[in-house]
Amino acid sequence: MNSRGDVITTVLLGLMLSLSLVSAGDIVHQDSVAPTRPGCENNFVLVKVPTWVNGVEATEYVGVGARFGPSLESKEKHATRTRVALADPPDCCSMPRNKLAGEVILVLRGNCSFTSKANIAEGANASAILIINNSKELFKMVCEENETDVTIGIPAVMLPQDAGESLQKDLKSNISVSVQLYSPLRPVVDVAEVFLWLMAVGTVLLASYWSAWTAREVAIEQDKLLKDGSDELLQMEATGSSGYIDINTTAAILFVVIASCFLVMLYKLMSAWFLDVLVVLFCIGGAEGLQTCLVALLSCFRWFEHAAESYIKVPFFGAVSHLTLAVSPFCISFAVLWACYRKRSFAWIGQDILGIALIVTVLQIVRVPNLKVGTVLLSCAFLYDIFWVFVSKWWFHESVMIVVARGDKSGEDGIPMLLKIPRMFDPWGGYSIIGFGDIILPGLLVAFSLRYDWLAKKKLRAGYFVWAMTAYGTGLLITYVALNLMDGHGQPALLYIVPFTLGTFLTLGKQRRDLKILWTRGEPERPCPHIQLQPSSQH
């Protein structure tokens, strides 16, 4: 395994940047396609349907509320437990033969409109209507264009086919079944979002310091070679062996184009087998990243110095340090174990560890050389985020990025190229997630700001890093505010992060009259003659 993983990380970069989204899972589904009119203008909300069989609490199902009818209670304690009755006829397209006394009526979909069923059920003295879909998915119930009687006084909820069949089976066996219908609201802020914000900001902070420290060490070494008149510096410049990749404006644009291609591919090909391919790629990149981070961390301790500085030739991989060989089996085993247990409730921990290690490694290897490249990259990413979250609905009739992030077409929790934490105090459960692109792309600019400050010997207040880091944290915070205002509907984080980070950098550079230097030259390649850098401490 290559100790730095340059090739694999570069290949994975386009795939990682394809997902740039903050989400908590929708409970309110705004829909601009389904028609609305007075009496038929409700949002489509998810509905909890807990059941009791012969007085004993049983399965809890999830349905979706209709465009019509009254709003449901948001708190369980205010929802009334009501007996369920089968419709006779089952489709409820004519007045039921059985007499109702405020029961919830269970009917089959089809043969007449949803509003007709609801009107007939209300006329038969039902307190609510549960409509069983003819598939396992949920369908949004709307009013027909030519219908006039849409003023309905009872709630209407659709259940998936398997849930409805289970209830039907119990009722046909003369078993007493009761339900509650309510649609709980999300908490204003969940602890998961706080921890996810800390993870993202902490990752950018750690990666920025590592990138700046490495750049300063290289600059000091080059300064020493320059003073000694060594030919080694000329050899390094001739071979271009810098250990990292500087992207240019063309590459910045291509990253976004490649990310778009990957996103469309994920949207079109998403399935169980394709998800397995993504898991394998993520494990390879995550193991590489974890290895790189562990080797760098252990190298700081005196006990591991010799192992980190002594090398052995390995076929195909070339010279590899003994420390890398010692760490690699653990990293590979960790990634394999996560892949084997990735469907377990605790698997998010391993995914986040591998993800953070991979992000930090990418931000260490890939660098923005100046503000011009950073501006092009983030501007393209800004437009990319808006297009694939919002504009893509016009072509695909759904948000491509949200569908990919949630894994709607694979039956899974989504692709692994994201950080996630389970929502702790949310009655709907689920995960709060953030895509790798929301950390890597602005992280490139933040890391550049710290490298510039250190190499240009800028003091804390006169530098740009503190402002860039604060802008990133603030932009991400605003993203979560927007997320909660939209009831968990996925938000393009770069829509908020880019104006804060890039806008702050450009404004500050112009005020300080550094913009020309930042825009073209960027960070110094090596210390200027009049700048004296202190020798680095041994690690």
User: Active-site residues: which are they?
Assistant: 385, 438
Query: Quick one: CA dihedral 70, 75, 78, 79, positive or negative?
Result: positive
Give the ranges where 310-406 is alpha helix by DSSP (H).
322-340, 347-365, 371-386, 392-396, 400-406
Give the separation between CA 16 and CA 8, rounded to whole angstroms.
12
Q: Which of 65, 57, 78 has the alpha carbon at shortest distance from 29?
A: 65
Please list, in sequence order, all residues whose beta carbon lies within 8 angstroms of the beta carbon of residue 386, skipping any fewer than 6 positions away. 492, 495
For helices 437-455 and 347-365, give the axis angle rounded to 10 degrees: 40
Q: How far apart are CA 505 and CA 509, in angstroms?
A: 6
State the burial class of residue 235 (Cβ atoms within 10 Å of its Cβ: 0-12, 13-18, 19+): exposed
Q: Is the peptide bond before 187 cis (omega within 30 degrees of 0)?
A: no
Q: Which residue from 15, 25, 8, 10 is spatially nearest to 431, judged by alpha carbons? A: 25
Q: In DSSP terms, which residues pair with 85 in a beta bridge? A: 105
CA 293, CA 207: separation in Å to the nearest integer?
Answer: 10
